[in-house]
Every structure is written in structure tokens, then in C-alpha cells.
Amino acid sequence: MESMIKAINRRVSVRSYADHPIEQDKKREMINLLESTNEGPFRNRVRFNLIDFSELDKNEIRSLGTYGFISGAKLFIVSAVKDGFGEMDGARVLVDLGYCFEKIILSATNMGLGTCWLGGTFKRANFAKRVNASEDEIVPAISPIGYARDRRTIREMAVRRFANSDHRKPWDELFFDGNLNSPLSKESAGAYAVPLECVRLGPSASNNQPWRVVYQKPERAFHFYLKRTLGYNKINGKMDLQLVDMGIAVCHFELSAREKGLVGRWEVAKPDLDTGDVEYIVTWKES
């Protein structure tokens, strides 16, 4: 099996695609992956479809536009999930969506393919119609998939600079020891330093990196929290993209932990912590 840790370290957002179709065997492998990767740690079901622009006419393609952020892509992965907006238990469907979608994106990376998370810069209603989304489904995110161009366009380089895509918050702003005031050292994290580093490297909407993790050593538990970017969720309404980001963090942690032979499980706990302005999401309990 290809290393997911290497994929996490290697993967970058690709916005410009080469005029080179994905081979049929890889396309079939991707379709099988979309059909099988559909349940997250909270057991919510996620649906994925593959849209092939080469099968559409120009007007149909124009109706699905990505506002100039993506060029040359012929295939798009589209996610759909039941609308759980309004309650935390229901909102965790978006965590599951992020978890499942990132698994697919990392697998695509290991296949030599480029991807790019899109959560706001596409015509959502038209993509929803194209995948026959029901009235109780939402389409939070899509991704182009294909081979990257040999060189980034000037526009793509400008977008990366604007989004601050190549920078990540330092370790001591994200991971904590016992409480949210004491930074966790890599030495104290022990074998889990690699999974936490994989969380740190994760992509997120506008590169806000909203995840915070508290390690409680006596309980052998890693508690995942969401630190919201002020006003961000209001921009996208029901599409709470920072919950999707938490799913990406959970995915990176689990895949890298299992690859390192670390055994644990996800559970909803009630950690006795002074959490301030963060929201509890889920706990990884060591076995």
C-alpha cells in the first residue's frame, strides 16, 4: 500500500491542468474509490460523483464554472451529503465529508494525480443539479482531478500567494499538553509527533488551519477542537467549511497513526477542560 504520510507531505493544490486525459485504468480505480469511501468516524454517509466535462457541451460547462480559479480540468469530483445543519450531531456530517474526501484526494496523490479543494469558488446549485442532489442534500465541496501542468500559470501563483497556501502555523499554536494554555512539545507527543505533524500540514479553507489538539497523557487521549475564524462560517451559510477542515485533520491523524502502527479509536468524550473560544469535535483514544 502506498504511504499516506508521504502523500500528505507531497500533496499541493493544483489549479492548472495539462491537456492529458487520465488513463482508463486509473479512472476506473478512482470511480471504485468514490463508491467505497463513503463513511466517516461518525458513521454518516457521503456520496461522491465524477463529472466528465468532455461529455458536456460548452453551455453546460459554462454553467458549472469555477470563477476562473481552475483551468484545463476535464474531471471533477463532487461530494454530496444529507443536510445536518443546526445541531452539532447533525453538523458532524461535514466532518465525515472532509474525512472521506481527503482520503480520496490523498489516494489520487498516490496515483500521480493533482487535485484542489474547492468550497466556495464554484456554482454550487448547478453542480448539485448535475449530480441529482435531493432536497435534503447539500454539496459542500468539489475538486478537479487530473495531471498538473508542468509549470504553474501566473494566475495560479498569484492565487497561492493570496491564499497563503505555502505557509502553516507553527506547532506550538496548534497542539497542547493537558490544557489549551500549555504547548505540547514533540518529545512529549512521542510516537504521535508524526500524526500531529500530518495534521499541521493539512489543507484548510483560506488556509485558516482551525484545528487545535489537546493531549491528555493520563487519559491517553487526543481531543480535537475547532477554533473558528471570526465571521467565516457566515460567508458560506450552511456550508460550514471549517467543519470540513476538521474532517481533513481527523483523516490525516488517523491515516498516519495507523501507518505508524499506533492503535486507537474515535469517540465523543466530554473532556473537563476550560475551552474558551473553541468547540469540541472528537477524541482519539489510544488503545
> Is the separation of the CB atoms in 207 and 164 below 8 Å?
yes
Domain limits at 233?
Answer: 171-286
The answer to the question of residue 166 being in a domain is no
Residues 213 and 117 in one domain: no
Kindly report the length of the chain: 287
Stretches in the chain below the pLDDT threshold 70: 1, 66-67, 84-91, 151-166, 233-238
Task: Give me the amino acid identity at 74.
Answer: K
Which pLDDT belongs to residue 223?
97
Out of 135, 158, 181, pick the residue that ends a domain: 158
Out of 101, 130, 158, pick the residue that ends a domain: 158
- For the chain, the first-to-last Cα distance in angstroms comes to 24
The answer to the question of residue 269 being in a domain is yes
Which pLDDT belongs to residue 277?
87
Residues 106 and 22 in one domain: yes
Which pLDDT belongs to residue 84?
67
> Is the separation of the CB atoms in 140 and 92 below 8 Å?
no
Domain count, the chain: 2
Which pLDDT belongs to residue 2?
87
* 125: CATH: 3.40.109.10
The answer to the question of residue 91 being in a domain is yes
Give Cα 263 to chain centroid, integer Å.
Answer: 22
Residues 111 and 65 in one domain: yes
* 237: CATH: 3.40.109.30
Which pLDDT belongs to residue 275?
79
Which pLDDT belongs to residue 236?
59
Residues 178 and 146 in one domain: no
**Alpha helical stretches, state H, 37-87:** 58-63
Q: How many CB atoms lie within 10 A of CB 44?
A: 21
> Is the separation of the CB atoms in 139 and 131 below 8 Å?
yes
| Nearest residue to 46 via CA among 100, 91, 125 | 100
Which pLDDT belongs to residue 237?
60
Residues 115 and 192 in one domain: no
